[in-house]
Structure formats: structure tokens, C-alpha cells
Amino acid sequence: MTHPVIGTYGHGTENDFVLIFDPENDVSITESQIAAICNRATGIGADGLIRIVKNDGKWFMDYRNADGSIAEMCGNGIRVMAKYLVTRSIQPEGIFAIDTRAGMKHLRVPMDGDISVNMGHVTDEMEEIEASNNGHTWSGYNINVGNPHAVVFVDSLEDVGSLADAPAVSPASSYPEGVNVEFVELLPNFEAKMRVHERGSGETRSCGTGTCAVALAATLKTNGKLPSRWTIYPPGGRLIVDIDGHSNATLIGPAVILEDHDLTKFLA
């Protein structure tokens, strides 16, 4: 590289990312370089990497998993990207749009406080699936939030065991590109706790699209009535999901921007 490439570390409910501000789309980065940056032992350490690009005058989130693979959408990541744009005075606070591989998303971004993002349609694929881990098998729902999710319900999250490796999900043919797997413990009053194994990243402290999938699956499992509002607690914090009568989800939660890092050595 002829000039330093700066990455900024941030997180949304402890789902963490390295962001590269690249409006001219001139930073070339490979899967192996992304994996090195996201490596928690030898790199910066993160669940994913976001290149902030501008295409045809519109912000675009180029999101990659920790292993460098491409993902369609990231609900926590897009809030962190929006927070970066506002706190660095690149984009005024208020309502604006960010394009993703899962389509255009509109956000409400104050200088302080929770950020809301319209995640679009959350789809029940009308198929019962199963996920197995730690000697247990649970049934649940195949949910699409622009990316694929298998949502299963457990009596206690303690039964899930380690999520260092990907749980077995069937039918595997329903997820040819892999799947994010959410394990959900229902609580009273439209609340739930969850753990998640994200494809390409492993277990993460939170997953924005995953909470939207959980909210729809939990609605279907309990009373099936929309609109609904769920408060969901991944290990990293608290997120709120509103689903309207047409199954469109709004994700509401915090985002934090922390320190900058020189990434040049990873891109040599």
C-alpha cells in the first residue's frame, strides 16, 4: 500500500467490527487479509469487517464475515456504520439510507442514544427445521431476513453448550450458502434471551438480523399475531424489534465507535 489504511473498531451490543472508510472504493482487500484483521489472537479482533463505500452517490455497506466471506446484511453492523458516519461528521444526524446486498435500508440516527433501522420484510419460509448441538435436537423455523436463519427454541440456554463449532441443521438443503443459528429461551411479556452461531464468524455476542428472525419466530410460536414488539437479550446487551402487520421489522439498539487502528501491515 502506498498510504496508510485506517480501520476503526466499534460494536453494537458487543457484536464487533472493523470499519474501513473507503468512499472512493479504492481499497483492495482479500478474504485472507480480512481473516487476519478479524483474528482475535493475532489481529485487531472482530466478528466482521465493513468497508464503507459510496456507489452512485449512495452509501453502501460492504460487509464481510470474520473469515472473509461475503454476507448479505448485518443489523448490528449497519448501525455501527451509521454511527461512524454521524460521529465523524461525514453524514448529518437524522434519517438517511444505506445500501446493502439485501437492499436499501433506512435509519434514524441521533447523535446520542439508540439507532433504529428498517430491516425490511422478515419472511417465514413455512418450513420446520431442526438444529442439533450438545447432544440435543430442537425444532424451529426457517426465517429469511435478507440472509438465512434457523431459529430454534430451548427450555434453557444452558442446554445449548459450546457453540465453537457450527450446529448441525436439517434439512441442510434449505441453506445452500450456510445459515445463522439462533437458540432462544422465551421469557414473559414478549421478551427472550438468545445465543447465536453466525456462519463465517462462530458464536457472536449479538446478531441484529438474528434478533429480527427471533422476533418473528417467537411471534409465530406464541400467538402468531402481528404487529408485535419484542425485547431480546443476546449475551452482549438489549435490542428491540418491532414487526408491523406486514412482517416488516425495525431494529432498535445502541452502537459504539471506539479506537482507530493502522491496518497497513495486514494489507501488504
Residues annotated as catalytic are: 74, 207
Distance CA 67, CA 48 (A): 8
Beta bridge partners of 196: 182, 204
Q: Specify whether the CB–CB gap between 210 and 180 falls below 8 A.
A: yes
Query: CB of 216 within 8 A of CB of 247?
Result: yes
Q: Which three cell numbers stand for residue 36?
A: 487476519
d(CA 35, CA 47) in angstroms, rounded, equals: 10
Report yes or no: 16 and 40 within 8 Å, Cβ to Cβ. no
Pairing of strands 48-55, 58-65: antiparallel
* Strand partners of residue 261: 7
Q: What sign has the CA pseudo-torsion 261, 198, 73, 68?
A: positive
3-state secondary structure (DSSP) of residue 266:
helix
User: What is the helix (H) or strand (E) element at residue 37, kind and residue range?
Assistant: helix 31-38
List the beta bridge partners of residue 102.
none
